[in-house]
Amino acid sequence: MTDGGCTTRPRDHLFPLKHISAKEPAEDFDPGLLLHWGLLLIAFAVVGSAAGTYALIVSSPPCPKISKWIGLTGNRVLDDVRNDWYYCLLLPMSIPVCIFFVYLNWVSLKFFKHA
């Protein structure tokens, strides 16, 4: 076929899906191992979320009453988090940064789409 002096071919040669077949699972694939890794990742996510929530709630500036209820634990790490000012300001300072990056992503999408 010719179209304005250019030769065009059917698009079937770009995506040869007829020749692709599903692969058989590997012989050493263990679904139980996949389950264990998944549970391990979920456990790390839960522990990390609990630690982050503790750091946000117990830090003294936004809610000093809660930090006074808990008191000193004797654990150096937990007491440092209790007396720290960084983690209590992390969430409020993350909101404008997230808004900026969402806007930047939207603008870059518009530039890509209309360029």
Q: What is the pLDDT of residue 89?
A: 76
- 62 falls within a domain: yes
| Residue 104: predicted pLDDT | 95
HSE-CB for 73 with a 13 A CA cutoff: 12
Angle between helices 31-58 and 86-114 (to 10 degrees): 120
Portion of the chain with pLDDT greater than 90, in percent: 23
Low-confidence residues in the chain, pLDDT < 70: 1-27, 58-71, 87-88
Query: Is 48 part of any domain?
Result: yes
| Residue 24 is assigned to a structural domain of this protein | no
Residue 93 inside a domain? The answer is yes
Instruction: Look up residue 106 and give its amino acid.
Output: W
The pTM score is 0.39
Task: Answer whether residue 29 is part of any domain.
Answer: no
Domain region containing 95: 34-114
Report the number of distinct structural domains present in the chain: 1
3-state secondary structure 18-87: HHCCCCCCCCCCCHHHHHHHHHHHHHHHHHHHHHHHHHHHHCCCCCHHHHHHHCCCCCHHHHHHHCCCHH
